[in-house]
Amino acid sequence: MPFGPRGLYRLIPHLTWQAREQVSRVLRLVPSGARIVDLGAGGRRISPGTIAVDFVPDPNTNVVGDVQRLPFADGTVDLVYATGLLEHVADERAVVAEIRRILKPGGLAHLEVPFLEQYHEDPIDCRRLTAPGLERLMREAGFETVASGAHIGPTVTMLNTVARWWALWLEGDSRVMKALSFALFTFLSIVYWPFKFLDAFLIGKRGAHTLALGVYFTGRKR
C-alpha cells in the first residue's frame, strides 16, 4: 500500500513527496533475476518479475491474500518490500515474522511506515513508528541494519497538517460543508505544493526523522 492520496484527494495537487526515495535504491542491491515480493503492492509494479501481493484484486496483483499468512515456502525469496503496509494490518509482528520466514539467509527486507502522517484507513489504520522504533522492531525480529532514516521529510508533515487543520474547520455532514472543506483543502494544496520541495535541503539533517512524515528500514536477514 504505497503512500498516496485517497478518494477525491487523488484529483488535487499532492502535498506528499519522497525527498529520499528508497525503493529503487534497494532494487539495485539485488542481482538481476532475484526473486522479489512486494507486500501490499496496491497495483504497483516495482520490476517486471516482482510478485505483487495484496488483499484487493488488481490487474497487476499476482497473489490476493493475507500478508500475515504468505503462500511462499521458507527461505525462497531474495527481497521483500512492505511500504505503507504495517499501519494497516492487525498484527505487525506477524507480518515481520512472515517476511523473515520467506527470505533466504542474507535476504533483504525494505519497510516504509508513517511517523507523522495523518490518519488514513485502508481499511484500518492502527499504528505509527519512529525511525528508531522501526529499526528496533526489525532488529528484534532477526535483521541487521543496512540503512534506516526518513524518506518523507518535515516540510511535507507541516504542509499536510496545516492544510488538513484548516479544512477541518469547515467539516460537516451536509454536502455543502463537505464541498467547502474539500475546496479549501484543494486551494491550500495548490498554494503549498511548491514548498514541499524544501525537503530536498532538510531530509539530510540529523534530526529530520524526528519530524518526518514517513520513515524506512532496510535490513538483511541474519
Q: Is the pLDDT of residue 9 over 90?
A: no
pLDDT tens digits for range 127-172: 999 999 999 999 999 999 999 999 999 999 999 999 999 999 999 9
Domains by residue range for the chain, with CATH: 15-153+203-221 (3.40.50.150)
Q: In what order do the strands lie in the sheet with 36-39?
A: 63-64, 51-54, 36-39, 77-83, 103-114, 214-221, 143-152
Question: Are 111 and 135 spatial neighbours (Cβ–Cβ below 8 Å)?
Answer: no
Question: Which residues have C-beta within 8 Å of that of residue 208, sequence separation ≥ 6?
Answer: 149, 150, 153, 154, 202
Report the pLDDT value the prediction gives residue 161, as an integer from 0 to 100: 98
- The pLDDT > 90 percentage for the chain reads 94
Dihedral, CA of residue 41, residue 46, residue 52 and residue 58, to nearest 10: 70
The whole-angstrom separation of Cα 101 and Cα 127 is 23
pLDDT tens digits for range 171-187: 999 999 999 999 999 99
Report the pLDDT value the prediction gives residue 8, as an integer from 0 to 100: 57
Question: Are 147 and 207 spatial neighbours (Cβ–Cβ below 8 Å)?
Answer: no
The pLDDT of 92-98, averaged and rounded, is 98
Return mean pLDDT, the chain: 95
Helix (H, G, I), strand (E, B) or coil at 118: coil
Question: Are 117 and 160 spatial neighbours (Cβ–Cβ below 8 Å)?
Answer: yes
The whole-angstrom separation of Cα 48 and Cα 130 is 32
Q: Is the pLDDT of residue 2 over 50?
A: no
- Cβ burial 163-202 (10 Å sphere, 16+ → b, else e): bbeebeebeeeeeeeeebbbebbbebbeebeeebebbeeb
